Amino acid sequence: MNLFGGVIPVTGISFLLFCVFAILFVGYALGRITIKGVSLGDAGVFIIALLFGALFYGPLEGQLMLGDVNYAEQALTIIENLGLILFVTSVGFIAGPKFFGNMKKNFKSYVLLGLIIILAGGLAAAGCISMGEVFGYGSTITDQDGFVAMIVGLLSGSLTSTPAFSAAKATVAAEYTGLVSVGHGIAYIFGVIGVVLFVQLIPKLTKANMDEERAKLVQSTGGEETKKNAVGKLFHLDDHGFAVFALAAVLGTFLGKIKIPLSSAGLDGTCFSLTTTGGCLLSSLIFGHFGRIGKLNIMPDQHTLKLFRELGLVLFLVGAGIPGGAEFVATFDIMYFVYGMIMTIVPMIIGFLFAKYVLKLSLLNNLGALTGGMTSTPALGTLISTAGTEDVAAAYAATYPIALIAVVLVSQFLIILF
């Protein structure tokens, strides 16, 4: 039996869903293991998805074959994108009520931090290119252009940045796009896990009092905002807010498709766009800020937002993790993996120290902005659990757009420069 007139086998879809739920169960169990107060949390799902991809991607491909066409990659992309939309739209709604007040008070700090983090990552990438020139590039690459393509791919993976990945592929010569993909896949794993562990370790290492830090966060983001909306008198399209959530996601998707040319070739050349992630984040921030249009409530129920945020995050991790595991095994090179680690660790530490000692941001404001500057969606989910407050999402949402634009430009600059 086939679905949609023989497009995808129903048995293949059933097998895929079975695998997804099995990964979620085992991944959550792994994430609950705590060692000295530190756990993988939702990243446990990512680890299990990686292992599944490394060991069982072949059988999954076999179940989703129709003739000579393999639909496994497309199906996992759908799961990844659905999860990303659910997560970032939820974050936007949650951060919306405080976002603009927070930006007004800390705008310069967020801009500077986003730029510093990405510039540090770019300098680390340039350093890795220079190291490659000294040591003869790598075991599989013998020319500079190919090595630069690999490094730029590593940079996008180390910062888990899909826009930078896409921009790099569009900028390098056609014969090197595969190397960008390989680099992205190799660095992506530590790019996720490294930041997830960092936002948990720092509060432990600094022996932070989380009650005090939460109070500082409220103060640093402009204090508690109250709206005079008489919620009971507002008109709700549905009890849970699914309708307005869907509207924000639809508008955000269209917004993310808008392309701004970055070269004289116009839309045929290199372009910048917010992507679906940035578009959904921006639209939901605006919805969350206003909360209503006249007597129409445009703010989903908080329980709905928490559920979609968690569901979206783990679906994203599964969708990205399974093919990532398969690709990692096929393309792994220890030298490139080390380069990717450098490009994650250097900007992360520099960003944290700059925010703490120069910008004087409170710990949770610092870490929230850091996850945005590192464009790390999984780390934000972990930080919310670690901090015990969703207010950190406002700092993430403020820094993320700055980093998003900067990492695209830095990736292209590296290709042009070298």
State the pLDDT at residue 347: 95
**Which tokens sit at 55?**
């060991």
Distances in Å between the Cα of 59 and the Cα atoms of 16, 76, 301 are 10, 14, 40
Distance CA 224, CA 96 (A): 13
Alpha-carbon 315 to chain mean position: 12
pLDDT at position 262: 64
* pTM (predicted TM-score): 0.77
How wide is the angle at C-alpha 40 spanned by C-alphas 34 and 45, nearest 5°? 125
pLDDT in tens, 220-245: 765 555 454 455 578 888 889 999 99
At position 279, the amino acid (one-letter code) is: G
Which contiguous run of DSSP H or E holds residue 3?
A: strand 2-3
Taking residue 164's Cβ as centre, other Cβ atoms within 10 Å add up to 30
Pairing of strands 271-272, 260-261: antiparallel
The structure tokens listed for 228 are 């005079």
Residue 7's pLDDT is what? Answer: 52
Q: pLDDT value at position 161?
A: 79
pLDDT for position 1: 41
Q: What angle do CA 254, 255, 257 make, to 5 degrees?
A: 65
Distance (Å) of CA 49 to CA 264, 279, 383: 42, 27, 21
Consecutive sets of 10 residues in the chain, 418 residues long: mean pLDDT of each? 49 83 93 80 85 85 73 84 89 84 83 94 91 68 78 89 71 75 82 90 90 86 52 80 94 86 61 76 90 91 91 87 77 84 95 94 93 87 87 87 82 80
Q: What is the pLDDT of residues 53-101, one digit of tens each?
A: 888 888 887 777 776 767 788 888 889 889 989 988 998 898 888 788 7
Confidence at residue 118, expressed as pLDDT on a 0 to 100 scale: 94
Exposure string over 265-284, b if 16+ CB within 10 A, otherwise e: eeeeebbbbbbbbbbbbbbb
- Kindly tell me the number of DSSP H helices and DSSP E strands found in the chain: 14, 10
In whole angstroms, give the CA distance from residue 17 to residue 28: 17
- Interatomic CA distance for residues 183 and 332, integer angstroms: 9
Q: What is the pLDDT of residue 264?
A: 61
Give the pairing type, strands 292-293 and 271-272: unpaired
Query: Which pLDDT does position 374 carry in this prediction?
Result: 92
- What confidence score (pLDDT) does residue 50 get? 85
Give the torsion through C-alpha atoms of 226, 232, 238, 243, to 10 deg.
-30
Per-residue confidence (pLDDT) for residue 5, from 0 to 100: 45
Report the pLDDT value the prediction gives residue 221, as an integer from 0 to 100.
64
How far apart are alpha carbons 216 and 57 in whole angstroms? 46
Where do we find the tokens 């020139």?
Answer: 133
**Whole-number Å distance between alpha carbons of 64 and 395:** 41
**CA torsion, ordered 12, 16, 22, 25, to nearest 10 deg:** -150
- What integer pLDDT is reported at residue 375 of this predicted model? 86
